[in-house]
Chains A and B, each alone.
Chain A
Amino acid sequence: MLRNDMVDALATWQGLAVDADRRDELLARLRTDEVFCREFAEALWTLAMLRVVQAPEPRWLSLSEELGLCGVEEDGSVDEGAEEAIMAEVRRKPHRIRLSLPWRTFAMVAAGVLALFLWFLFIAKGRNTEKMGITEVLPSERKLAVLAGESGAVWESDPLIAGGNWVRPGSHRLLAGSDTLLFFNGIRVRLQAPLEFSLVNEGTVSCHRGAMRVTVANGAAGFRVNVPFGVVTDLGTDFAVSVGADDATRVAVMEGTVELGIRQQEDDGIRLISMAPGEAVEVSATGNTQPASTNGVPPPPDSSLLPLKLPDAYADLILAGKPRHYWRLDRMENGKIPDVTGRGNPLLSLGPLAVSADGGGRHSLRLSGKGGVRSQHPWRLRTDGAALELWFASEGNQQSSLVGMATRELDSRHFAMLSHNSYLSEAAPRSQMLNTVRFLTRWPIDVRGGVNLFSEPVIGPYSWHHVVIQIKGRRMELHVDGMPVKVATADPLPKTIDAFLTLGFAHTMGRDGLIEGLPDRFLIGRIAEVAVYDRVLSPKEIRQRLGK
């Protein structure tokens, strides 16, 4: 009864017409039944939050007028004094975060969100490209997928949200050439002209006419393509869909399994057909099926990333900052990547990897998920001021180690780690958050524990991101793409630590406590421009790396 009344009360609250007697009955129960009232309030509050996160971000134009700030959103003319004062206040009060206690995680996330607001307010406004503030992660912004932007693609109208690579949700028409949709969760859709399609949500596209091929990264099963006969649902695979002028649809499976949901014409029934690799079927608009050929399907999605765009004379900028070591990762000779500072500490190749050009022609270290690099020698890291910066882009859909620092070669007991989560398995710890980077320090060295900093959850695959981690005394800092500094207090560190560096993988704890462990958490993607410093970088220096 409580449940029925609850559903009715919620429905009535949302405008469902009920007769006066029923309405009075519900009101009476709300007035007299404390438990029911509390449960209704909680449902109502959840519904309210739901409406807010799905609604567009308001523009507050009258408020801007009231404040005398008309145009501030557009021209970024925010008072820098206010910025500095507030940011100084943020920096003055570093907080200690231990993930072993739930409330601290809560506090960390809340503080991070506030910091993101600050960043959005005072820094992001000046950017002409991305505004990666809090609104970016809300569905109301509907930033669902980016476009690889392949040359030769001709669109009927610009498919992009102004000022970035994000594809506008809704219908699009590709007139000539091909391009690739890159979803936040690792799904890639090769679009082949002529094509009419709609971007529906983060897990669905509709194919109205033409051909597309979908590659679903490991762990992202469930992607759907709406077609005239119903829906094609991926179960972890590579498949192609093409819709003809008569709405007949061909589905071909290259790898994995696909499920077709074919609507019955005569009623509401849906017939499910499971398809295996090498199978192809043509389904008419009325749901009749017949075998088809797998020939002539579009090629698989281009795995190239969005190109890395660096400011001019980037290497000069880095070298002017007097790094302790600097690995551009744009060339490799005999399995060694040179340290361009001339201090003779090359990175050594471990496993299959290559230096190759990205989509923009810039060379960087390409990691295929089976290898990485390590520094040939340790260096003496001074904890009264040390920084590491790099650019990375993930092409896969996994939990990856970007940087590991240990006191022994290939040791699983790290004193510092930087990792990226673009996919989390069911077994992953719940403290790990999707599309974040994580900076961890542990002292004494161990395979567990430590103090963590997480970025905002906006670090998806396929695009390049700049990350700086730094330590000054016990103060840990994490900077990602110029977003506001995240700060935590590390456990006490010794004044100097001999640091061995690994990039692209980590040794995780070995069986029976063997500290050598096993290589794991490989990055599938690219790393470029890694530098370490015997000092911390200033916010201004970090912004310069981003061309600001």
Chain B
Amino acid sequence: MIEQVVRQVLAGKPDAFLWIVRSEGPGLRSFLASRLHQMQDVDDLAQEIFIIAYRKLREFEPDRDFGVWLRGIARNRLKQHFERVTRQTASLELFRSEVMEIDRMAEEIERLAERTRSAQLLAMVQCIAKLPERMRMVVRSRMDGEKAASLAAESGLSVDAIYQIQHRSLDWLRDCIGKEMTNVAE
């Protein structure tokens, strides 16, 4: 399917590229969000990556997986991003960049990215609605360091407990998505 769209774009119909954006956008954004702290950075970089992909579309080989090709661009762009932000803000992104420099981690993320389809994001939406109340509260708070502290203050729990709940929630969601995607019946 994507080959058809690429041909349309290369034949002078740039609007067809928006189909690619909508098709690959959620996966690319998830990939970037697995590395970056701010969603604003995720979306800015995703846009840049799509622009680069559009400009380099003739280099895309039709027998390749488009998502893999896109993440190749993303990895290069991320490297530049980390070089820049590491100079600017030493510690905040440092742990993330060091984590992602671990080869096995990068391989695991790539494996997960390859397996992820938009349907799983849809399933996640349904699973969030099914989360037990306290887990949903934590999941919906879109935590970062400061949010976790304020959430802890609001709920009367410790920051550690908040992260424990978040971890359990991620396990729960993963299990729920798995069931949504695999359990079938008449």
Contact = CB atoms under 8 A, between A and B. Distances in A.
Contacts of A102: 181-184
Contacts of B113: 45
A120 B15 CA distance: 13
B30 A52 contact: yes
Contacts of A431: 183-186
Nearest to A88: B4
A439 B135 CA distance: 35
Interface string B152-182: 0000100110011011001101100101111
B119 A113 contact: yes
Contact of A72 (B15, B55, B186): B15
Given A10-B163, A30-B99, A201-B140, A429 B186 contact: yes
A51 B41 CA distance: 12
Interface string B72-97: 00000000000000000000100110
A529 B182 CA distance: 37
A312 interface: no
A34 interface: yes
A31 B17 CA distance: 39
Interface stretch (A79-87, A303-311, A318-326, A388-396): A79-87
A433 B184 CA distance: 11
A7 B26 contact: no
Contacts of B163: 7-8, 10-11, 16
A80 B121 CA distance: 29
Nearest to B8: A82
A37 B33 contact: no
A100 B184 contact: yes
B118 A113 contact: yes
B33 A110 contact: no
Nearest to B165: A7
A449 B186 contact: yes
B119 A17 contact: no
Interface string B23-61: 101100111111001010011001110110011000000
Main secondary structure of the interface of B (DSSP, over half): helix
B120 A49 contact: yes
A31 B106 CA distance: 11
A67 B54 contact: yes
B124 A6 contact: no
Interface in A216-267: 222
A12 B95 contact: yes
Interface stretch (A54-62, A278-286, A375-383, A498-506): A54-62
A45 B112 contact: yes
Interface in A330-385: none
Interface string B96-113: 101100101100110011
A490 to B, nearest CB: 16
Interface string B1-12: 100110010000
A457 B105 CA distance: 34
A14 B148 contact: yes
B185 A139 contact: no
A37 B105 contact: yes
B70 interface: no
B148 A11 contact: yes
Nearest to A442: B186
A106 B51 contact: no
A7 B160 CA distance: 8
A15 B15 CA distance: 39
A101 interface: yes
A40 B112 CA distance: 12
B184 A134 contact: no
B23 A78 contact: no
A118 interface: yes
A486 to B, nearest CB: 14
Contacts of A72: 15, 18
A85 B8 CA distance: 9
B146 to A, nearest CB: 8
Contact of A79 (B15, B142, B184): B15
Contacts of B173: 46, 50
A81 B13 contact: yes
Contacts of A110: 117-119
A62 B51 contact: yes
B148 A34 contact: no
A38 B99 contact: no
A46 B32 CA distance: 12
Nearest to A430: B183
Given A30-B105, A37-B108, A62-B47, A48 B140 contact: no
Interface string B120-148: 11111110110001000001101111101
A51 B124 CA distance: 11
A460 to B, nearest CB: 13
17 contacts: A41-B112, A42-B108, A44-B34, A45-B113, A47-B34, A50-B128, A55-B39, A66-B55, A67-B14, A82-B8, A86-B8, A100-B184, A105-B184, A121-B19, A430-B183, A434-B126, A457-B126
Given A31-B102, A268-B156, 7 more contacts: A12-B95, A30-B102, A37-B105, A46-B177, A52-B42, A67-B17, A85-B8
